[in-house]
Amino acid sequence: MSRFSKVEQSDYSVQEPLVGRTDSHDQYGEDRQELQRPRDTHQYPRETRQILFMILHISCVAFNVLVFIHYFGLIRAESRTGWQSSLSPAQSAIRYEQRLFELGSIYLPNGTLNPTKPGDIIGDPRPSLDDAWNALMRGQNVRVTKDELGTFSEDDSLIELADGSGYYASLAVFHGLHCVQRLHHFIHKDFYYDDMSDDDLRRLKHHTEHCLDWLRQSIQCNGDPTLLLYHWGTEHPLPLAKDDGKHQCVDWDHLREWVDQRTFNMFEPGLLVHPIYGDPFQGDHVGDKAGISDGESLLHSGGS
């Protein structure tokens, strides 16, 4: 009698291995099971999925185009206003207009001033000319708050007004006007600087050349792209340039409104107090017609 007992057969005719079975019959069985598995009723037909994918793709492209247009518009706005590099609170007062320059003849053929020329800031020295320049330079001294100083807010050398209303500042446009006035005065130095010593005249020349250098940089900085077109004249054979185009200009009256709201009288006693010399406009302190020299840097004092 055998010592072995009969082992009961399980319900499965084939015992499945734990790993690695590659029987092709099982693969077919899996395929049959896949075919017998109920289809997901929530799955879209292939054509519908393609349409949805195309819509999504077009939407993404359209979104990117809109973002580019918006960003490009900001760049163009920055190029028109300069706000991306400006540290000036006056930027909020900047708006532009198209303007033709008034380029009528300053002098008549007989050498006298053209009476139809608008303005009164050119020509020989006279009281009306000086009054016109004083009006143009009105408001060159403005107050700004500490928050408006931007990257300059930590500069301890800035002049704070003694009444605590802000800091002493000016807009670069007024320095440009000062330089134009300085050039006019230098042309007529026998009138405006008739009592200067040789050393004073030397410093005056240096200050005037500083103004030329500053104006040159300012003109290049602004880079007016208005076309100047050339024409043939009748009195000589050389081409003649004519400035007949409209320039993009800052609305001066609108900027002036901002300036007028912040201007102050620098000669008001006690408003400006030098830590060493006290009030710069009281006592024996006098202005310097030639301009103030600070080492190799030539500056212009307020109100000059």
> pLDDT tens-digit profile of 272-295?
999 998 998 886 655 667 775 445
- 119 and 212 share a domain? yes
Residue 25 lies in a domain: no
Q: Give Cβ neighbours of residue 158 (< 8 Å, ≥ 6 apart).
A: 149, 152, 167, 168
Per the structure, the count of domains in the chain is 2
What pLDDT is attached to residue 55? Answer: 83
From 85, 105, 138, the end of a domain falls on 85
What pLDDT is attached to residue 10? Answer: 46
Residue 144 lies in a domain: yes
Residue 178 lies in a domain: yes
Q: Quick one: tokens of 212?
A: 């030329």
User: Do residues 285 and 277 touch, judged by C-beta distance below 8 A?
Assistant: yes
- 59 and 182 share a domain? no
What pLDDT is attached to residue 46? Answer: 73
Residue 6 lies in a domain: no
- 73 and 199 share a domain? no
Residue 16 lies in a domain: no
- 59 and 90 share a domain? no
- 70 and 94 share a domain? no
Q: Can you list the residues of the chain whose pLDDT is less than 50? A: 1-2, 4-5, 7-25, 28, 35, 75, 81-85, 293-294, 296
Q: Give Cβ neighbours of residue 278 (< 8 Å, ≥ 6 apart).
A: none
Expressed as residue numbers, the domain containing 172 is: 86-299
Buried b (16+ CB within 10 A) or exposed e, 246-269: eeeebeeeebeebbeebbbebeee
Residue 235 lies in a domain: yes
- 92 and 124 share a domain? yes
- 76 and 212 share a domain? no
3-state SS string over the chain? CCCCCCCCCCCCCCCCCCCCCCCHHHHHHHHHHHHHCCCCCCCCCHHHHHHHHHHHHHHHHHHHHHHHHHHHHHHHHHHHHCCCCCCCHHHHHCCEEEECCCCCCCECCCCCECCCCCCCCCCCCCHHHHHHHHHHCCCCCEEECHHHHHHHCCCCCCCECCCCCCEEECCHHHHHHHHHHHHHHHHCHHHHCCCCCHHHHHHHHHHHHHHHHHHHHHHHHHCCCCCCEEEECCCCCCEEEECCCCEEEECHHHHHHHHHHHECCCCCCCCCCECCCECCCCCCCCCCCCCEEECCEEECCCCC
- 178 and 237 share a domain? yes
Residue 10 lies in a domain: no
- 74 and 107 share a domain? no
- 155 and 199 share a domain? yes
Cβ-based neighbour number of residue 291 at 10 Å: 21
Residue 3 lies in a domain: no
From 62, 85, 108, the end of a domain falls on 85
Global confidence as pTM:
0.69
What pLDDT is attached to residue 290? Answer: 73
- Mean pLDDT over each residue of the chain, to the nearest integer: 81
In tens, the pLDDT along 174-219 reads 999 999 999 999 999 999 999 899 999 999 999 999 999 999 999 9
- 124 and 68 share a domain? no
- 169 and 61 share a domain? no
